[in-house]
Amino acid sequence: MLRIFKRSLNSGKGIWSNFSNRSETLKVQNIKPHAATYHSPLLIDDAFKSAYEILQQESEKIYQRAQTVEKDDLKDKLLSQAESKNPEVLYNIQNGNDLDITQPVYRNHLKKQWENYDLMILMQRLEQFKVIPDTLPTIQPTVDVKVKFPHITNGEFNRWIVPGEFLPSFLTKQPPTIKLQQFDNYKNESKLFSIVLINPDEPNLETNSFKTTLNFGVSNLSLSLTDDSLDVTKYLKYENGSEEFSMFKSYEPILPEVNAGDYQRACLFVFEQPEKINVDQINAEDFDIRSFVNNYNLSPVGGTMWRQKYDRSVNDVRSEYGLSKGRVFHRVRKPFPLI
């Protein structure tokens, strides 16, 4: 690892030493002062030096090619390729430093990392818990959506939630911080998003079936690569009237009733909007997400889910939101057919 600091010792003239057009974040960051000492094999430094020169020359060629390319996605791919073998970049990636998402090389790395784990987990949970097709027919996420509840003072829940896990009601009583990590926003533009949180497991006693409730709805939320989350700062701004987005349904937590099924699914979806929309006449008590998506011409780009069941904190949260006491169901499921 120490070898990468010899950037200046190698001619110092190559593209990887030139930071006039390249971002400073491509430099090695956060060097650990007491990194384990590494004793390099004999003569490896010379070999490293020549390898470095070759890779650097290749990188330079790719940069030149990238200048001639018009298409955004191809250009982004080339720019990422040009830095993908830079030892400094690799050091930053390996050491888990905060990576600069605006740099194609880091963005592509994060995308790959997301696709190889988090996306797989998400799709598994969405399919196994039948979120798709119970809500939307299907979804192909392109945006990494992460959720956490920052108000909590209990260390156990001070983290991003894993899709599908059971969350207690005292945790979900406040609107979550939602982070949208875009990967194909090549020019770091602001894009408009809508977010909905729905519960498809609300009992409907009239039909002896279920209905979907809308628990949170936000539209016209402008986010970019760097400004990527809906958090307390934005909620506060909204409360103070200097709104940056519109809220067509203020947050109301999912509060399962006693014995109302095994669990209720909180499904959070993120949609990209083609233009600003004005959402009105929403039936939050019996919400139809498919027609909502059609009506406003939205394209689903990401989502996440968690599960909730009745716990001892439900009643407190109910009273906080001024809701009446929840229904209590008999714990044995009866064989009455669907109406």
Partner 1 sequence: MFSVNSITKGLQKTSITQVRTATKRAAGSRTNKNDSAGRRLGPKVFEGNFVSPGQIIMRQRGTKIHPGENCGIGKDHTIFALEPGFVKFYYDPFHPLRKYVGVALKKDYTLPKDHFDPRLRRFGYVEITDEAEALKEESRMSRKEYLQQAELTKKKQMRAHHDQALSTTFQEQLSQFVELSDDEATLAIERLVNNYKLIRLDHSIEDANQQSTFNYILSLKSLLANNKITQEELTTLKEKYIKLAEKLDRDVTVDFSTKQLTKYLNSEQRSALRNDIKEKLNGFKNKVISSEDKKHIEQLISTPLAFNKVERADLTSDYLPSVLPESVEETVFDPEKGIPEGGKVITKYDNTLRKTIKIGRTKEAFLNQL
In angstroms, rounded to a whole number, what is the distance separating the alpha carbons of residues 164 and 211? 20
Cβ pair 193, 277 in contact under 8 A: no
Nearer of residues 297 and 319 to partner 1, judged by Cβ: 319
Query: Does 15 sit near partner 1 (CB under 8 A)?
Result: no
Q: What is the 3-state secondary structure (H, E, C) of 207-239?
A: CCEEEEEEEEEEEEEEECCCCCEECHHHHHHHH
Q: Which of 215, 183, 181 is CA-nearest to residue 198?
A: 215
Give the contacts of 277 (CB within 8 A, at least 6 positions apart).
194, 219, 220, 296
Query: Does 135 sit near partner 1 (CB under 8 A)?
Result: yes
Q: Name which position in 24, 67, 155, 291 contacts partner 1 (CB under 8 A).
A: 155
Query: Does 169 sit near partner 1 (CB under 8 A)?
Result: no
Least gap, CB of 135 to partner 1 (angstroms) = 7
Q: Name the segment binding partner 1 (CB under 8 A); options: 79-87, 112-120, 228-236, 265-273.
A: 228-236
Least gap, CB of 337 to partner 1 (angstroms) = 4
Query: Does 286 sit near partner 1 (CB under 8 A)?
Result: no
Q: Name the segment binding partner 1 (CB under 8 A); options: 10-18, 67-75, 126-134, 186-194.
A: 126-134
Give the relative orientation of helices 72-83 and 104-113 as an angle to the nearest 10 degrees. Answer: 90
Least gap, CB of 75 to partner 1 (angstroms) = 36
In angstroms, rounded to a whole number, what is the distance separating the alpha carbons of residues 275 and 298? 9
Mask: binding to partner 1, 38-77, rule CB under 8 A, as x and -? -x--------------------------------------
In angstroms, rounded to a whole number, what is the distance separating the alpha carbons of residues 183 and 80? 12
Nearer of residues 94 and 154 to partner 1, judged by Cβ: 154
In angstroms, rounded to a whole number, what is the distance separating the alpha carbons of residues 332 and 246? 43
In angstroms, rounded to a whole number, what is the distance separating the alpha carbons of residues 222 and 224? 7
Q: Name which position in 21, 153, 242, 291 contacts partner 1 (CB under 8 A).
A: 153
In angstroms, rounded to a whole number, what is the distance separating the alpha carbons of residues 155 and 137? 37
Nearer of residues 67 and 153 to partner 1, judged by Cβ: 153
Residues that bind partner 1 (CB under 8 A): 33-34, 39, 130, 133-135, 137-138, 150-151, 153, 155, 158, 174, 200, 203-205, 208-210, 232-233, 235-236, 239-240, 258-261, 319-322, 327-331, 333-338
